[in-house]
């Protein structure tokens, strides 16, 4: 299970790189809003990429409780686990 989460986290960080410089470090604690400045349009792109990458559908209501990279990775992991 933990390795699944780590896999999700790694892939997610790869997608998040587009919002930062190539050298910036993204950690689980990175704040999506403050540190990566993801506005609503970037968010749509990110969700589309996540859905394509992980073969899931992200319910919009769940995003209301997501602020950090860790929280987003956990959400993706949960959706994937529930689908299996």
Partner 1 sequence: MTSTINLEGKTLSSTIAKLNAPLTQAFDPRLLNESPIAITPTPTHNTQTQRLADFETLTAALEYAAVGTAGYNFYDARGNLRSVLPYQALRQNARNSAQRLLSIGLTSGDRVAIIADTTPEFVELFFACRFAGLIPFAMPVPVNLGSHAVYVQQLRGMLEAGQASAAVANVDYINFLEEAAEGSQQLRWVGTPEQLGKFPVPDVALPPNHPDEIAYLQFTSGSTRVPRGVIITERALMSNLQGIVRHGLEIHAGDRCASWLPFYHDMGLVGMVMAPMVAQVSVDYLATRDFAIRPLQWLRLISRNRATVAFSQPFGLKLCTLRVRDSDLEDLDLSSWRAAGVGAEMIRPDTLRNFAEKFAPAGFDARAFLPCYGLAESTLAVTFSQVGQGFQSLRVDAGTLVDRKMAIRLQADGRKYSEFVNCGRALPEHTVKVVDDAGQLLPDLRVGSVLVQGSSIMTGYFNNPEDTRKTLQPGNWLDTGDLGFLFDGDLYVTGRRTDVIIVNGRNIRAQDIEELAEQQPEVRTREASAFGITDANDATTIVLVIECRLTSVTDRQSLTSRLQRLVYMAFGVNCLVELVPPHTLPRTSSGKLSRFAARQGFIQRTNLTDQLSAESGDI
In the stretch 1-40, what mask flags binding to partner 1 with x, by CB under 8 A? ------------------------------xxxx--xxxx
d(CA 83, CA 32): 25
CB-nearer residue toward partner 1: 2 or 82: 82
Q: Where are the alpha helices (DSSP H) in 18-68?
A: 40-54
Q: Are 76 and 50 in contact (CB under 8 A)?
A: yes
Residues of span 40-79 touching partner 1 by CB under 8 A:
40-41, 43-44, 47-48, 51-52, 55-57, 59-61, 63-67
Alpha-helical regions (H) of the chain: 2-16, 40-54, 69-83
Binding site for partner 1 (CB under 8 A): 31-34, 37-41, 43-44, 47-48, 51-52, 55-57, 59-61, 63-67
């Amino acid at each position: 299970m933990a390795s699944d989460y780590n896999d999700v986290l790694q892939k997610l960080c790869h997608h998040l790189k587009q919002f930062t410089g190539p050298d910036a470090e993204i950690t689980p604690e990175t704040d999506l809003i403050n540190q990566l400045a993801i506005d609503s349009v970037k968010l749509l792109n990110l969700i589309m990429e996540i859905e394509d990458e992980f073969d899931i559908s992200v319910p919009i209501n769940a995003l209301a409780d997501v602020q950090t990279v860790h929280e987003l990775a956990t959400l993706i992991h949960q959706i994937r686990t529930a689908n299996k």
